[in-house]
Amino acid sequence: MTGSEVTPSFRLAYVPGVTPTKWVRIWNERLPDVPLTLVQVSPAEAPDVLRAGGADAGFVRLPIDRTDLSAIPLYTETTVVVIPKDHVVAAVDEVSPEDLADEIVFHPLDETLEWERRPGQPAAERPATTADAIELVAAGVGVLLVPQSLARLHHRKDLTYRPVTDAPESRVALSWPEDATTDLVEDFIGIVRGRTVNSSRGRTPTPAVKEKPQAKAKAKPAAQPKKKPASRPKAAKRGKPRRRS
């Protein structure tokens, strides 16, 4: 390898709550010679990281500023309320925002849900992060509404969660810079979309090695049918001589 050659690699950003394990495993199976590096970013900084070239592609939470970015929505998460296990809400299967009207509801600065009207009573101060808000919920100060994956990410034995109906939902998407749709990005898009390794839009397959044409064998002259030997005329049968009377 000369000094001018660069070993290919792929950098994948992801926001908290997204688990890229499955896609990374498939990548390693299909492209074992191209190392994939994971870069964890906050939802707010993810778009700028992609624009600045800090990652080739990334899992983000919509909506984002789509300037210079492409995005493929992948799935939508259920919104849940995180509560202490002994909270009255823990006794029901689901709640609505109206059911939380008398609760102090935390809205951290890194909140991923977009509310037209925030439910519940506002806290004196907004926690800096979701992790900080989780600590306050555990202390019994209030409750927190988040996508279900974040509730699982910050799981604690003293906390639980319940689905919230009629609430904004978080959508997860794969995003990348519009002007940097490289072959490796196309490869990863194919993996995320479930394309097989032989898909026409997946990674370009290795061209088949053409076999060398074999030398044509000289045609042998067609065998002439053997002539059957002429059959000898059969001798006439001699009858017994008749006796003269």
Domain edges within the chain: 10-76+171-192, 79-168
Residues 72-126 pLDDT 10s:
999 999 999 999 999 999 999 999 999 999 999 999 999 999 999 999 999 999 9
Q: Mean pLDDT across the stretch 132-152?
A: 97
Mean pLDDT of the chain: 86
> What number does CATH give the domain 10-76+171-192?
3.40.190.10
- Quote the CATH superfamily of domain 79-168: Periplasmic binding protein-like II (3.40.190.10)
Identical fold for domains 10-76+171-192 and 79-168, yes or no, is yes
Number of Cβ within a 10 Å radius of residue 64: 17
DSSP 164: B
Three-class DSSP category at 38: strand
pLDDT score for 5 = 64
The percentage of residues in the chain with a pLDDT greater than 90, rounded to a whole number, is 73
Q: How far are the Cα atoms of 10, 46, 91, 103, 153 from residue 145, in angstroms, in the given order?
A: 34, 21, 17, 12, 14
Q: How far apart are CA 86 and CA 99, in angstroms?
A: 17
pLDDT score for 213 = 47
